[in-house]
């Protein structure tokens, strides 16, 4: 393999602090924390994408895609993209059958 030098992510100090806070926060979704870890790792010089991909259990092309998305959207790249298709709707609740207990 060629192992070309990756075009890393350039982070401001504010972005670095925000990404570190996301990684440390236990209440953040794991997929968002993983994207933050990848972004931080790609900002470091000498990062080998293949090694990083094995470490975070992502495909190399997914890491490249995340890097380009981060360049375009910034921290918003950590969030999921909107899904295609009709949005979900909840149907209205029907009549209650057990009024005394409040169960449906």
Write down the pLDDT at residue 56. 92
Identify the three-state secondary structure at position 103: strand
Q: What is the pLDDT of residues 23-52, one digit of tens each?
A: 999 999 999 999 999 999 999 888 888 999
Q: Is residue 16 predicted with pLDDT exceeding 90? A: yes
Our CA dihedral for 47, 49, 51, 55, rounded to 10 degrees, sits at 100
In the structure encoding, which two tokens stand for residue 57, read together?
């259990």
Q: What is the dihedral of CA 81, 85, 87, 89, to 10 degrees?
A: -150
Q: How far apart are CA 25 and CA 46, in angstroms?
A: 27
- Checking if the pLDDT of 18 tops 90, the result is yes
Residue 28: predicted pLDDT: 94
The pLDDT, as a whole number, for residue 74 is: 92
Give the relative orientation of helices 49-56 and 30-43 as an angle to the nearest 10 degrees: 160
């Amino acid at each position: 393999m060629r192992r070309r030098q990756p075009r890393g992510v350039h982070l401001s100090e504010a972005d670095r602090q925000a990404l570190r806070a996301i990684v440390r926060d236990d209440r953040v979704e794991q997929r968002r924390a993983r994207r933050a870890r990848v972004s931080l790792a790609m900002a470091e010089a000498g990062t080998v994408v293949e090694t990083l991909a094995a470490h975070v259990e992502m495909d190399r092309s997914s890491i490249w895609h995340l890097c380009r998305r981060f360049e375009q959207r910034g921290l918003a790249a950590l969030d999921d993209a909107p899904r295609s298709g009709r949005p979900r709707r909840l149907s209205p609740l029907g009549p209650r059958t057990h009024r005394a207990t409040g169960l449906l």
